[in-house]
Amino acid sequence: MAFFQEPPRLGNQFDDDPMLRTWLARFLPPMEVGDITAELRGLGDLTCELYGKQLLDRTNEPTLTQWDAWGNRIDRIDVSPLWVEAQVLAAKHGMVAAAYEPRLREHARTHQFAIVHVLGPSLDVYSCPLAMTDGAARTLLGSGNQALIERFVPLLTTRDPQAMWTSGQWMTERTGGSDVSQSETVAKQDASGQWRLYGTKWFTSATASNMALTLARPEGNPDGSRGLALFLVELRDADGRLRDIEVNRLKDKLGTRKVPTAELTLAGTPATLVGAPGDGVRAITPMLSVTRTWNAVSAVSGMRRALALAGDFARRRSAFGALLVDKPLHADTLAGLEAEYAGAFCLAFRSVQLIGSLEHDGATKDADERLSRALIPIAKLLTAKQAVACASEAIESCGGAGYVEDTGLPRLLADAQVLPIWEGTTNVLSLDTLRALGKGGALASIAHEIETHCAAATDAGLAAPVAAARAALAHATAWIGEAMTEPERLEAGARRFAMTLGRALELALLAGHAQWCQDHGHGGRTAAAARRFMANGVDSIDDHTFADTRLLA
Ligand code: MFK
């Protein structure tokens, strides 16, 4: 009888994830662990069901209908069937709402992102509008604009699928997604005092959303980012028609193909000023912190999904006389990826913890603020790169099947590739890390964070990882001390510096968590991850002459 390979199957994505389970057991209030475990296990079952639907929905993509039969411009966007279901599931399971519910106080963010981690990879990047919805709620809450808070935050943070709104974030224009200071969109007040926006937004990913936060330059304001202001746009009128917005086309993207990313013309779009008529970049920074944290969690949940499928494939696929999982080299490759996942998980969920404590005015607010300002860009940039590398290796581990679209596996890599690009590229975030560290005490707070977790890891089996984390931190600290006075060297080395700090953080967090796991009867798996992570390499700091760079670039 001819041979047919069994495809990989997805198990319960809560039960199969010891990192998530032990992290929650360690950090959630003991009274809550039982209920949250039951909730997440239920979501884990749902992921198995949704995986089948994802495969069936694979070729459905959003469509744009610009004109109706009678010649009216309608610019209607229809999304895939799974996206329609995702909207309901996201609301019902509180993928945004859970962060704003008072019951768990500073742990609400951990609860929310645990839900996102388990369910997110099953919703075909519906995490994109959710991240911006969460960011918009947080930005409005920080704006002090009571009228907007009362009107919109309840809509953004409800669990009622019929009532829930999603929000976009429109920053990128043809002039750039990184240097937003050059934005060309102009805001003018009409005779009635209504602000209206004129310009083109070049990458608007949540075009099916109800509202958006966007930047525009009030007429007469100076050039540069200080002249931009933050506006809120309600996309549609009571009849569902776009309000002076034209959808020029949908983007033809490498991945995230379910996301209806569009180019828009704002042709006098009515908008509400959120805060002052300037300093919009500063006003939108709460959005950046939230969406970058979503990016980090989406990176680790994408890694989890890739490893779940690659691991299951290795347990079903035989070659050269044995299951792949029993082949030393194949197992070695997967183990290296599991270690990267474990480190990335710790850094992403540590960022989550920090935004949770900041939102609940803890006694350590100032220290948490300093730490999170520096840690979030590092977490975003490092986990995004880890996610791409992991997805690439995971599909390779499935051989040719990993390269064939209708196995669903290539999508893992195509979707991961957006993570280092949107919400700030690796280089932009490396420079942001330098800017964050330029504020008093931020490097010391990172050093304190690393040292705290290293000091907690007292087991002899963790001595080498702890030493490696400390050595990488010492090297990074010495390097920045020297490079500070040489702007060209500082900028050229910013990525290697940020990566090194990030990997030192991941390793220290991993070692600290490994100690907790050993002390609380969860075995030595996390310690093995720490040792393997160390072996994958921590410190990439090196200086190259600009002359060599010029010859090569
Ligand atoms: C599924 C769909 C897929 C679609 C494909 C995606 C393709 C890509 C689409 C995109 O383009 S996504 C958009 C990506 N772009 C970004 O995320 C923005 C990247 N750029 C930055 O992050 C820049 O660093 C930034 C725009 C913030 C710099 O702006 P400026 O104009 O140089 O402002 P400046 O002076 O640095 O910062 C203004 C204030 O904000 C400062 O405060 P102070 O005046 O008090 O010092 C900064 O410290 C503060 N600030 C900046 N970044 C901050 C921050 N505060 C907190 N957190 C931050 N991250």
DSSP character string of 265-323 = EEEEEEEEE-S-SS-HHHHHHHHHHHHHHHHHHHHHHHHHHHHHHHHHHHHH-EETTEE
Does 421 contact ligand 1 (Cβ within 6 A)?
A: yes
Amino acid 363: pLDDT = 59
In 3D space, the residue among 199, 318, 210, 319 whose CA is nearest the CA of residue 265 turns out to be 199
Residue nearest to atom 22 of ligand 1 (CA): 424
DSSP 340: H
DSSP string, 5-40: PPPP----TTTT-HHHHHHHHHHS-HHHHHHHHHHH
Ligand 1 site-directed mutation target among 77, 126, 172, 285, most atoms within 8 Å of CB: 285
Compute the C-alpha angle 269/274/280, nearest 5°: 90
Residue nearest to atom 23 of ligand 1 (CA): 178
Å from CA of 374 to ligand 1 middle: 14
Å from CA of 393 to ligand 1 middle: 31
Ligand 1 site-directed mutation target among 432, 433, 439, most atoms within 8 Å of CB: 432
Amino acid 58: pLDDT = 95
**In whole angstroms, what is the distance from residue 66 CA to residue 73 CA?**
6
Amino acid 1: pLDDT = 85
Amino acid 365: pLDDT = 74
pLDDT one-digit tens code per residue, 251-296: 999 999 999 999 999 999 999 999 999 989 999 999 999 999 999 9
Residue nearest to atom 7 of ligand 1 (CA): 422
Q: In order of start, what are the domains of the chain with their CATH numbers?
A: 18-56+81-123+284-416 (1.20.140.10), 167-282 (2.40.110.20), 442-552 (no CATH)
Residue nearest to atom 55 of ligand 1 (CA): 285
Å from CA of 312 to ligand 1 middle: 40
Does 425 contact ligand 1 (Cβ within 6 A)?
A: no
Q: Each residue's pLDDT tens digit in the chain (553 positions)?
A: 899 999 999 999 999 999 999 999 999 999 999 999 999 999 999 999 999 999 999 999 999 999 999 999 999 999 999 999 999 999 999 999 999 999 999 999 999 999 999 999 999 999 999 999 999 999 999 999 999 999 999 999 999 999 999 999 999 999 988 888 899 999 999 999 999 999 999 999 878 899 999 999 999 999 998 999 999 999 999 999 999 999 999 999 999 999 999 999 999 999 999 999 998 999 999 999 999 999 999 999 999 999 999 999 999 999 999 999 999 999 999 999 999 999 999 999 999 999 999 988 665 677 888 899 999 999 999 999 999 999 999 999 999 999 999 999 999 999 999 999 999 999 999 999 999 998 888 999 999 999 999 999 999 999 999 999 999 999 999 999 999 999 999 999 999 999 999 999 999 999 999 999 999 999 999 999 999 999 999 999 998 888 888 888 8
Tokens describing residue 343 = 């480190």
Three-state SS for 174-206 is: CCECCCHHHCCCEEEECCCCCEEEEEEEEEECC
Ligand 1 site-directed mutation target among 422, 429, 437, 439, most atoms within 8 Å of CB: 422
Amino acid 12: pLDDT = 95
DSSP SS3 for 41: helix
Does 261 contact ligand 1 (Cβ within 6 A)?
A: yes
Residue nearest to atom 58 of ligand 1 (CA): 285
Å from CA of 41 to ligand 1 middle: 37
